Structure 1
Amino acid sequence: MGRLTTLKPRHNDPRRLVDCIIRPLVTEKATRLLEQNQYTFAVRPQATKPEIKAAIELLFDVKVVAVNTLHPAERSKRVGRFAGQKPHYKKAMVTLAEGSQIVLFPDV
């Protein structure tokens, strides 16, 4: 039998947590989900659900109930005769507790 090793927990360094959130996603579906208190963000592909939850709670000072993630399919991009891929990202849909709210666009 192999030797059992214990995995070290990831450090929850606030600087590292803030870097896992790339930007909020604003689409028709994301706008519809705002009515259900769900916010959609683009995050680093390596980010885990606990890291995303901790980053949202740290950045916006809200209580997160659930985090759902998915990897959208990569889309091809063409510039003249050169074909390539758009940068890959991970999408996170964050459900907030009742009464919590994130103000994404304060002046709108």
Structure 2
Amino acid sequence: MDGIKYAVFTEKGNRLRNKNQYTFNVESGSTRTEIKHWIERFFGVKIIAMNSHRLPGKRRRVGRRIIEHTTNCRRMIITLQPGYSILPLKSSLKEF
């Protein structure tokens, strides 16, 4: 599980969990097949689809120049087959 950094808990992530989709931040050097293999083996689930995007870099100002730092992670949205769920992430949800 070296490539998976942590699960993401945002408002969008909570909405996606109702559709059996989970959000993770992973290292940018990891391939999609590696991540799929790690999640299927660690959580014991079957994955239907995976979507990913790179997070935007943060900007900071140094004098008059603006420097943009890139992040070294990618966000993955993983869709599980019906009947599967990731229980540690499912039990921490509280609906308002």
TM-score range, shorter chain: 0.7 to 0.9
Give the secondary-structure state (helix, strand or coil) at the position aligned to 1:42: strand
After superposition, where does 1:1-108 map in structure 2 within 5 Å?
Answer: 18-76=1-59, 85=69, 87-105=71-89, 108=92
TM-score by structure 2 length? Answer: 0.79
Percent of aligned pairs sharing the same letter: 33
How many corresponding residue pairs? 87
Give the residue type in structure 2 aligned to 1:29: K
TM-score by structure 1 length? Answer: 0.71
Q: Which has the larger radius of gyration?
A: 1
What stretches of structure 2 of length at least 5 have no aligned partner? Answer: 62-66
What value does the CA root-mean-square deviation take over the aligned residues?
2.1
Distance in 1, Cα, partners of 2:91 & 2:20: 20
Question: CA distance change for structure 1 residues 71 and 87 in 2, over 3 Å: closer, same or farther?
Answer: closer
Question: CA distance change for structure 1 residues 100 and 107 in 2, over 3 Å: closer, same or farther?
Answer: closer
Q: Give 1 or 2: higher strand fraction.
A: 2
